[in-house]
Amino acid sequence: MPIEVFNRFEHKYLLDAQTYEKVIKVMDEHMELDKYNSDHKPYTITNIYYDTFDDYLIRKLLSKPEYKEKLRLRSYGVPTLDTKVFLEIKKKYAEIVNKRRTVLTLDEAYEFIRTGKPPILKEYMNEQVLNEIAYFLSFYELSPKLYLAYDRVAYFEQGNPDLRISFDSSIRSRRYNVGLEKGDYGSLLLNDGTYPMEVKTSLAKPLWLTHMLSGLNIKRSSFSKYGN
């Protein structure tokens, strides 16, 4: 069963192509590729971000408050209406990110978000997360605002599954025809050769990682895909 609740730090960095190649060499020495990244080939993540009519949630996020939250629908690749997807509520207080998600079919997720009423409980759903999302939907009047997709290469540290480092490329988005099942296309968000890197862990960074970041002069960035 996929992990449905996360509490961790998420630190972001923007790498140019030259730095990315150097970092990947270090990753291969210390970490293991995600099982879906055979031969360093990326897999595709597609998302819909939900917001109010005046984009309150993303405007609040960009103002850098101590507490922020958002709702998104996520799939791996282009789904059909009966494909299982993840509906996620993501909150951040200070430096700690809390992500809670449940599995639904795409059709169930659309209906839940449209009506605010949780679907009839099935064995693949997380009831507690459904209730939390239902409250979120009752508090905000949300609609699908942005389709956003990217190609990802991800690593786990050998012997330490808590640490995950991911690299994204070809970030594309659209604000029209916003549906996961409607195809993977959109305008590129960044120039080719720029790679957002995310370090996700609930523990301290290992020494080899801090040495790599300082040695290559890699500094944290507040980059937000949805915000940009």
Query: Average pLDDT, stretch 35-56?
Result: 94
Q: Indicate whether 4 pLDDT > 80.
A: no
Higher pLDDT, 162 or 42: 42
What's the pTM?
Answer: 0.91
pLDDT value of residue 1: 44
54 band by pLDDT with thresholds 50, 70 and 90: very high
Q: Give the count of beta carbons closer than 10 Å to the beta carbon of residue 21.
A: 11
Q: Tell me, what amino acid is at 206?
A: P
* Encoded tokens for 95: 């430096």
Domains annotated on the chain, with CATH: 5-221 (3.20.100.30)
157 strand-pairing partners? 31, 160
**pLDDT tens-digit map of 112-129:** 999 999 999 999 999 999
How large is the greatest C-alpha to C-alpha distance in the chain, in angstroms? 53
pLDDT value of residue 153: 97
